Structure 1
Amino acid sequence: MRPGAAERSAPASHPCTGTSASRLGRALIDRHLYLPRDSRCANGPRRTAAGIPEQAVFATKPHLARDMIAAALDADTPARWVAGDEVYGQEPALRAELEASNTGYVLAVWPPGAASKADPRCRSLG
C-alpha cells in the first residue's frame, strides 16, 4: 500500500490516495480530500463555491494516510509493507503505528540521511 503525495507547492485541494499492488495488478483502494489549513477550508464562501462538504476538515497528509492504512488493515487488506515519500517519512506517529501493527515500511526522509542519524535501524540510500 502506498499513500500518495503531491509536490511541495500543493494546489488548494487534492486527494491523498491509497493504492495496493500485487502480482495481479494495482488498484486505488482509498482516498481522502487534503485541504491545506490556509485554503478553501477556512473560507466559507470559497468552500461552498468549491463544493467542499462541511464535514471535511483540515488534517495533515500523514494523518490522512494513518486513517487510510488503519482502515485497510482493519479490513484485512493484504499489506506486508507501506511506502511513502518524505511527507510521510517525517511523521513519527505514522512509523510508530506501522511498527505496532507489524507492517513493514519504506518512507523517504529529507534531508537525505536524516533518519539514519536519529535512528540506528535506518540507513541512507543517497
Structure 2
Amino acid sequence: ILDYLHKIFEKTSNEHPQLINVISTVDLTLNWLLNIYDINRTGTIRLLSMKMALALLSRGYIEEKYRYLFSLGACINNNREVLDRQRLSVLFQQAIVIPKQLGEVAAFGGSSVEPSVQSCFEYVN
C-alpha cells in the first residue's frame, strides 16, 4: 500500500511541488484508509477498498469515476462487461463506509445498500 500511495503522491508532487509533502500525505492517507477499512488494525485492506476510496475522493469528472468504479466491479459475460446485483452490492458496501466514518451515513439512507442496488436495477429495466 505504501508503495502504491507513494507513487501516486510523488507524481502529484512533481506536477504541483508546492501543493503537498509526499511523506506526510502518504502517512495521512494510509492512516485514513486504515481508520475506514481496517478498524481492528490487522494490517490488511482490500485492494478494491483502497482503489474505491482513492477514486471517490480524487479530482476528476463524475462520469470518469462511474466508469472506473463500474470496471472495478464488472465481470465478463458473453464478451461484455456486466455488473450484477452481488457485485454492485459489494461496491456500495465499500463506498458507504466513507460517509459512515464521517458520521453522515444517514444522509445516504443508512448502512443498508440493498435499496440502492434494487433502485439501480429497476432504473435500467
TM-score, normalisation: structure 2: 0.25
Structure showing the higher strand proportion among its residues: 1
Structure showing the higher helix proportion among its residues: 2
Which of structures 1 and 2 has the larger relative contact order (alpha carbons within 8 angstroms, sep 6+)? 1
